[in-house]
Amino acid sequence: MLGSTNPFDMSDTDRFHEECGVFGVFGSDEASILTALGLHALQHRGQEAAGIVTYDGSAFHAHRALGHVGENFGADSDQMRQLRGHVAIGHNRYSTSGNVNPYMEIQPFSSELAFGGFALAHNGNLTNATRLRASLIETGSLFQSSSDTEVIVHLVARSHQENVTDRLIDALKQIEGAYSLVCVANDMLIGVRDPYGVRPLILGQRDDTWLLASESCALDIVGATPVR
């Protein structure tokens, strides 16, 4: 609470700064629009920046920007017209201090890996991220952000498993903490929760379209029904 003298008061703004919002869509030609709407409903989970990555069957398209969703992802904007594809993931980022270049911290992160394109948005904290980052740097990995999310991307890239699903599972076996993930790879939308289910991730459906969201309010705004 702003102005509170209680050092243990975790209400209002402070509570929201412990979270961020993730959203994913599979099977809709309006994937980017649905994702923008979902992120708008999740705006309370992160107000510093937002990003969307889409996949059209052959290439990734991305737009990331500081500010609110409505400021950067208007339905008739050039940015939205460029976000083509039937698969999309999005992320709202809460504000943190100490970042030299906050733009480099905006998710989803995407990269071209040995098996093709891979995009990832993450909510949560990895308790062993510092150790994993140090190990990856020691063996040649180059980091562009301070985010735990980039650690996961590098673990997937460095895995010796044959396909992206097994590479992701291999990476998940190495991380510790509370998290939820939405990923796009090889024309798939993948959702992940930590083994204890601490961070929320809800599966929803709208006709033949499947969706993933941090909260059910993001499904409500696009007319989707929660499945689990």
Residue 15 lies in a domain: no
Integer Cα distance of 171 and 92 in angstroms: 23
Q: Would residue 20 show up in a list of annotated catalytic residues for this protein?
A: yes
Residue 45 lies in a domain: yes
Residue 86 lies in a domain: yes
Domain that holds residue 173: 20-226
Question: What is the mean pLDDT of each successive set of 10 residues along the chain, which is 228 residues long?
Answer: 33 48 98 98 96 96 96 89 97 71 93 93 96 96 93 97 95 97 96 95 98 98 97
User: pLDDT of 13-32, one tens digit each?
Assistant: 333 345 799 999 999 999 99
43: CATH:
3.60.20.10
Q: What is the pLDDT of residue 12?
A: 37
Global pTM?
A: 0.89
Residue 49 lies in a domain: yes
Q: What is the pLDDT of residue 95?
A: 64
Q: What is the pLDDT of residue 182?
A: 99
Q: Domain count for the chain, please give it.
A: 1
Integer Cα distance of 127 and 99 in angstroms: 19
Catalytic residue among 3, 5, 16, 20: 20
Residue 134 lies in a domain: yes
Residue 1 lies in a domain: no
Integer Cα distance of 86 and 7 in angstroms: 46
Residue 173 lies in a domain: yes
Q: What is the pLDDT of residue 7?
A: 30
Residue 121 lies in a domain: yes
